[in-house]
Every structure is written in C-alpha cells, then in structure tokens.
Amino acid sequence: MAAKLPVLNQLRPKVISQGVVNLEKLAGRVSKNTTYNAEEIYGMFRLAVKEIINALQNGETVKIDGLVSIAPNMKVGGEVDLTLRGDRGAIAGLNNPILWTADKVANHANLSKSTEELVELWNTEHPEDPVI
C-alpha cells in the first residue's frame, strides 16, 4: 500500500526552475529602461538589501510593494528566521495559466487535477501498490 503524501508529491505539478536571477542580472535588466547604468543600479540594490536587513534586525516588517512583506519570526528556543507573505496582486499574476507551459511545469498534464484525481491516477497506474 502506497503512502498518500509521497504519491501526491510525485504526481503533482511542480515549477521547473528556469535559472536564478541575482541582483547583478536584475540591475542589468533594469538599467535597459533607465538612464542609470547597471553598476549604479546594482549599488542601489545592495544598499536597499543592507537597509532591509537593518530594518529586520530592528524587528520591523519590510513591505516591498507589489511583491512581498518580510518579517523576522522567532521560533521556540529563540532561533530567528524570516516569514515571507506574497503580495496578493503578485500571486494573482503568477496564477495566470498562460504562464505555466509544459516546459516550465513538471507533470503539466496534472495541472488542474484534484488530490482525489491524482490518487485515482496512481491507483490506475499502480494497481499492485494502491493508495487507500
């Protein structure tokens, strides 16, 4: 008998990373639409990151309009990590199905399937190891 969570994790759609864009690459992209050069914008980004870290160290929540809110969060035992909450508009924009083509999504055929449908698919394909 197969466990439900590993089966769902295997069959569910997953975004395939298209690479990493760091601040230097972003600065280059932004500079194409401004009178600033990439190095100046990169310097501004680095200063912004420094100020964001300072604000978080002061216990402040940092809101980057149209993208995310970042807040320090303390766990039991005192370890601190970050809580990120995506901006609703940004999330809505990411939920545009036109964006998520088969070259960007593993298990693309399962994109609109429910949990029950994925379990049924598994059980059909693996009758010897069903999820119950």
Domain limits of the chain?
Answer: 1-18+104-132
**Does residue 2 surpass a pLDDT of 90?**
no
Q: In what order do the strands lie in the sheet with 68-74?
A: 62-64, 68-74, 80-86
Torsion of CA 111, 115, 120, 122, to 10 degrees: 70
What pLDDT, on a 0 to 100 scale, did the predictor assign at position 102? 95
Distance (Å, whole) CA 60 – CA 70: 9
**Does residue 95 surpass a pLDDT of 90?**
yes
Q: What is the pTM of this model?
A: 0.80
Using DSSP, how many helices (H) and how many strands (E) does the chain show? 5, 5
Confidence band of 132 (pLDDT split at 50, 70, 90): confident
Buried b (16+ CB within 10 A) or exposed e, 84-120: eeeeeeeeeeeeeeeebeeeebeeeebeebeeeebbe
